[in-house]
Amino acid sequence: MLLLNQNDVMKVLDMAECMEVVEKAFVELASGTAVLPLRINLFTQEGLGLYMPAYLKEMGALACKVVTSYVNNPAKHHLPTIMGKVLLQDPETGDVICIMDGGYLT
């Protein structure tokens, strides 16, 4: 499994290419071949988790973006209030093949 921090993501992704992929994803969404369920909002005592799965059949992409918001993180844990990761999965097996920082992508 590939792990990419924010610096890694910034090095390997070309933003112009990302915009082209996003455009193709919207075309697939409009055509009805994309599966994009409603975001799951999970409240805990300390914060909030947001889970955003998506499957693009034509593009062969299966992923889930996870964003958390924990307001006490900076003071208690020296972490940002908001953090995000993207889990990329193999659409044939469901295996997680990459976990990457979601900040730059967002």
Q: In this predicted structure, what is the pLDDT of residue 4?
A: 98
Amino acid at 97: I
Range of the domain at 94: 2-101
Report the predicted TM-score, pTM, of the whole model to 2 decimal places.
0.90
Quick check: is 95 in a domain? Answer: yes
Successive 10-residue mean pLDDT values, the chain, 106 residues: 97 93 95 96 98 97 98 98 98 98 90
Q: In this predicted structure, what is the pLDDT of residue 93?
A: 98
The domain that holds 60 is classified in CATH as 3.30.1780.10
Q: In this predicted structure, what is the pLDDT of residue 41?
A: 99
Domain count, the chain: 1
Give me the residues paired with residue 62 across strands.
Answer: 55, 89
Residue 90 token pair: 């193999």
What is the helix (H) or strand (E) element at residue 101, kind and residue range? Answer: strand 96-101
Quick check: is 37 in a domain? Answer: yes
Contact 22, 51 (CB under 8 A): no
Q: In this predicted structure, what is the pLDDT of residue 106?
A: 82
Q: In this predicted structure, what is the pLDDT of residue 100?
A: 98
Quick check: is 106 in a domain? Answer: no
Query: Residues with catalytic annotation?
Result: 65
Q: In this predicted structure, what is the pLDDT of residue 105?
A: 86
Q: In this predicted structure, what is the pLDDT of residue 28?
A: 96
Quick check: is 67 in a domain? Answer: yes
Alpha-carbon distance of 33 to 48, in angstroms, equals 30
